[in-house]
Amino acid sequence: ALLGGAMGKLQSKISFHPAKYRADGSVEETGPIRAARQLGPVHTDAVAAVAALTPDLCVSGGRDKSVAVCRWRSGAALRRFVGHQREVTKVTSAHDSNRFFSASRDKTVMMWELHRTSGPSQRFPGHDLVVTGLAVSPDASQLCTGSRDNTVCKWDIETGECLGRAAISRNLVGAAASLHPMVAPRCLRGYVARGGTSLPARVWDSRQLQVAHAFPAQRHIQTSCDVSPDGRLCLSTSSGCAGEGGEATLWDLRQTRDRVREYKGHFQTTTSCVFLPRGPALVPSIATASRDSTVKVWERDTGGRG
């Protein structure tokens, strides 16, 4: 499936387009193409982030300052949430709940609940600049945020209290402005994976906020990352323009920590990525969002578009 938009509007399309992506980036078609089905707009401007809420629902945020909940397969919008004063930069959800979170250029993070009738259920103010990173602990009790103010914060989700703050050296954060910390599952022992703008993607120990591992450097700026539910794989995305760059990369987080696969198809910077919840009849899949105003769903193990 492919969710896309044009002229600043996010529209939903569904297509059956199985393909194999070769190492050189070329595409081998392996099946028929079904005509796209157009739906109404969900966002009125570029989509900045996407995350899975349930196996059937996704959360997205963008330049129109809103957060939307939609159905993955049909693209139908379920609800929109408004409260930020500036564009939404990141979204994420709490495991096995109806709670989800949005970070913004207004320097705040908000917690939303799917069935709450009005407004955010919690706010997390405290950063001095745009919030560029957002992650929820595996037990859904704490939130981790990263900002261009050179700090990373941990928060108590229920009370909104800041539990700790770490300042990163100017050289590191100056080169890693577009951070996306992701608290990994317990098998990674509390590590936080982060993407940095001119540094390779790194794995951080969330208890000490120290670097535990750095992946091989990429050609393009790393913009976001996600960790698979089993803690074995990591996705990272990169900047791009005019079809150059903009790929997503799958990494092995186990002993070798090698690059497994790349997903190419966006024409501008890929801003967000997520491992999709796996239903009983679905193949393992991922989704990527881009400044080209599209969200693409991929088969994780083949690189083909789902």
Tens digits of per-residue pLDDT, 44-74?
888 888 888 888 898 999 899 999 998 877 7
Domains of the chain: 170-305 (2.130.10.10)
Tens digits of per-residue pLDDT, 70-82?
887 777 888 999 9
Q: Which of 5-19, 110-124, 125-139, 188-202 has the lowest mean pLDDT?
A: 5-19
What's the average model confidence in pLDDT over 182-204? 49
Check residues 267 and 199 and name the one with the higher pLDDT: 267
Mind spelling out the 3-state secondary structure of the chain? CEEEEECCEEEEECCCCCEEECCCCCEEECCCCCCCCCCCCCCCCCEEEEEECCCCEEEEEECCCEEEEEECCCCCEEEEEECCCCCEEEEEECCCCCEEEEEECCCCEEEEECCCCCCCCEEECCCCCCEEEEEECCCCCEEEEEECCCEEEEEECCCCCEEEEEECCHHHHHCCCCCCCEECCHHHCCEEEECCCCCCCEEEECCCCEEEEECCCCCCCEEEEEECCCCCEEEEEECEECCEECCEEEEECCCCCCEEEEECCCCCCEEEEEECCCCCCCCCEEEEEECCCEEEEEECCCCCEC
What's the average model confidence in pLDDT over 180-208? 50
Tens digits of per-residue pLDDT, 90-138?
999 987 789 999 999 999 999 999 988 789 999 999 899 999 888 888 7
Q: Which of 76-85, 180-189, 199-208 has the lowest mean pLDDT?
A: 180-189
Predicted confidence (pLDDT) at residue 17 exceeds the cutoff of 70? no
